[in-house]
Amino acid sequence: MEGSPLTIRYFAGARAAAGRAEEAIPAGPSLDDLAAELTQRHGDRLAGVLRVASFLVNGVTCHDRQAPLPAGATIDVLPPFAGG
């Protein structure tokens, strides 16, 4: 399903910085491109979170921020968590 939007789910500090728990955006080619789009939409506060966040793509940790994102994927934005 080429062109299917991505579902972005924000957790903890990412949710606070984005001002929402979830949103759908047009498919982007990579996590770096997605981060740039989300920064444009929500500003520098979210940009700071995205720089240190971990990402799950369809439930799988993604370390390669240049890897292609599948159309229709769910992207979880997980900032570093405090506590123990």
pTM here is: 0.90
pLDDT higher than 80, residue 13:
yes
Nearest to 78 by CA among 23, 6, 14: 14
In DSSP terms, which residues pair with 38 in a beta bridge? none
Q: How many helices (H) and strands (E) does the chain have?
A: 3, 5
Q: In this predicted model, what pLDDT tens digit does every residue of 26-55 receive, in sequence order?
A: 877 899 999 999 999 999 999 999 999 999
For tokens 């949103």, the residue is: 23
